Amino acid sequence: MNSIRHTLKAAAAIAIVVCAATAAFAVTGDDVLNRMQDTFSIGGADSGEGILLSIAVVNQYASGITTDYNLAVAAETVVDPNRPADADETSHALMYFVGGDDEGMIFLLSTPEAKSEKSRMWLYISSFGLTKELVSDEDQSGNFAGSTLTYADIAGASDMRDDYSATILREETLTLGSEERPVWVLELTPRAGVDVEYARVVLWVDKAENLFLRLEGYDASGVETKEILVASLGTFEERRIPEVMVGRDLQTGDVSTITLSGMRRPAGGLAESVFDSANLGSFAPGTYGF
């Protein structure tokens, strides 16, 4: 079992992802990838408004064991009005553990968009009533909670543009539940000198929404090791967003399912104090309808 933190970072990223999506026409594989990455980047649309949603994570291990946990999430992107329009922004995500022995624990993540800056994380442990900042050098390659998905798999797709070059293999239609989604199928190969998890990636990118709908990761010997599928799409503010994502580790047989629900804007927005690490002990989920 690995880090739940990655789950939460991933969940935070998912929460942020839903804030932006712009369709565009692309000619080359790199163009498609860039467009997809832009979809992942944070637009200013939610600045000051924030998002509330619930995330359910279910890990089904090949051994037959199943674990699950539920999170109440509040996320927000803050744009400094004094900075240029294309400047980096900081996003905050607060994860509140719902139910079980971990009820009341809070994970707070502040993620600067700039790669040069590091995320900061705090953990509030309700049973002790104490908050600690978690300082770590850890990268984003680890699995979380023994699941098949890493932070890089889900949220770190934003790294793909820097790590891989893409070519269009073909265009086809992907069936997603009852929907037929036209997609580009990209083949991603690592850029020289870059340390990446996969030696080759095949990516299905929705033409209309620029969302990745399916990912296949291959190792250096050409064996597929990972598969991530968007099992269903939801709609939020007239944009399509991933609603259920399923990741399969083809080496271990473990399967993880992440379900997003109850996505909404908080009435009156989210106060900046919500994301202050000193206030974690006083966070009341009921106030936000959880």
Closest CA to 3 of 220, 152, 191, 159: 152
137 binds another protein (CB under 8 A): yes
Contacting range for another protein; rule: CB under 8 A; set: 78-86, 99-107, 172-180, 231-239: 99-107
- Minimal distance in Å, beta carbon 211 to another protein? 28
Q: Is 201 in the site for another protein (CB under 8 A)?
A: no
Question: Rounded to an integer, what distance in angstroms lies between the CA atom of residue 202 and that of residue 216?
Answer: 5
- Residues 247-276 within binding reach of another protein (CB under 8 A): 251-252
Phi, psi for residue 256 in degrees, rounded to 5: -120, 140
Task: Pick between residue 5 and residue 248 the one whose CB is nearest to another protein.
Answer: 5
Q: Are 171 and 185 in contact (CB under 8 A)?
A: yes
State residue 123 phi and psi, 5-degree precision: -130, 125
Strand partners of residue 224: 218
121 in contact with another protein (CB under 8 A): yes
Give the position of tokens 């991603």. Answer: 188
Q: Considering the rule CB under 8 A, would residue 142 count as an interface residue with another protein? A: yes
Given the complex with another protein, which of 80 and 138 has the nearer CB atom? 138
- Contact region with another protein (CB under 8 A), list: 24-32, 102-110, 205-213, 233-241: 102-110
283 binds another protein (CB under 8 A): no
Chain residues 57-86 in contact with another protein, contact rule CB under 8 A: 59, 61, 63, 65-67
Closer residue to another protein (CB): 2 or 273: 2
| Residue closer to another protein, measured from CB, 43 or 104 | 104
Contact 183, 204 (CB under 8 A): yes
The residue among 28 and 66 lying less far from another protein, judged by its C-beta, is: 66
Residue count, binding to another protein (CB under 8 A): 39
Q: For residue 265, give both structure tokens.
A: 């804007």
Say which residue the tokens 């299905």 belong to. 204
List of long-range contacts for 134-140, beta carbons under 8 Å, 24+ apart? 134/5, 138/3, 140/6, 140/9
Q: For residues 79 and 109, which CB has a smaller minimum distance to another protein in the complex?
A: 109
**Residue 250 and residue 254: Cα distance in Å, rounded?**
7
Residue 162 in contact with another protein, rule: CB under 8 A: no
Q: Considering only CA atoms, which of 276, 238, 263 is closest in space to residue 15?
A: 263
* Interaction site with another protein (CB under 8 A): 1-5, 8, 59, 61, 63, 65-67, 97, 100-102, 105, 107, 121, 123, 125-128, 130, 132-138, 142, 145-146, 220, 223, 251-252
